[in-house]
Amino acid sequence: MIDDTETQENREYWEYEPSSQPPYLTPNYKSTVIRSPNKPQYKLPRTLTETTGPLFTQDDLVADEYDLSVNAKGDAAIGSLMVMDGFVTDEDGRPAANTLIELWQANSAGKYHHLMDTRDAPGDPNFIGAGRAVTDSEGHYRFMTIKPGAYPVPNSGNYWRPPHLHLSLFGRSFMSRMITQCYFPGDPLNELDHILHGVPDVDAKERLIMTFDPVVGVHEHALGYRFDIVLRGRRATPMVG
């Protein structure tokens, strides 16, 4: 339980609750076996490089990079259209303006546009599955895309990843870089997902599941999902890379 009576006086930032983040090593999530540290960690000194950049603005994007649902020629991807909409804030609810958000995902058949994805599932020539957006002064962002399909993880005993979206965010600086995934509410595969359940804290786990929100959808065109993201701090969105 977060104690809101605590003051931030003399604090540079709130530390996250350890149980809100997955351990570096989650054996059921095979990537962590390779990438988790096996030597003691130490803190890097903070310099201007880490605390003041990189800086992004809307001008760094090509128009319509937020829209994954059509290719560069305007041809439509196959799948159920959806809007992903939300706000990025810091640990105290202040907007994280000019945050670059990179989104990548599988197509509607659960196949990635990637050489490593050799599964026997159809590709979609009109869907690369990658987009970018930069938050405005209120920390607001919006993507238009198609709902990704579930996919089986090879040699895993028929373990299927639930539909999910991958996100990378740069906040005010490299210090607030975040890589995570978000999920769809009510999907039965969520309960079986090793990555989602690598997060020990139940409330923190819930913060990785989008909210169905017709208000942010497009009438008779696209379903709407809301996903608010907190960079760092006690209410930080868990980082599940």
What amino acid positions are annotated as catalytic residues? 112, 151, 161, 164, 166
Nearest one of 185, 175, 197 to 227, comparing CA atoms: 185
- At residue 161's C-alpha, the angle toward residues 79 and 187, to 5°, is 70
Q: Residue 68 is encoded by which pair of tokens?
A: 């994954």
- At residue 131's C-alpha, the angle toward residues 76 and 135, to 5°, is 125
Q: Are 145 and 82 in contact (CB under 8 A)?
A: yes
Give 230's strand partners.
89
The rounded distance, in Å, linking the Cα atoms of 214 and 83 is 9
The rounded distance, in Å, linking the Cα atoms of 89 and 99 is 10
- The pairing of strands 164-170 and 178-183 is antiparallel
Q: Are 95 and 88 in contact (CB under 8 A)?
A: yes
The rounded distance, in Å, linking the Cα atoms of 54 and 56 is 7
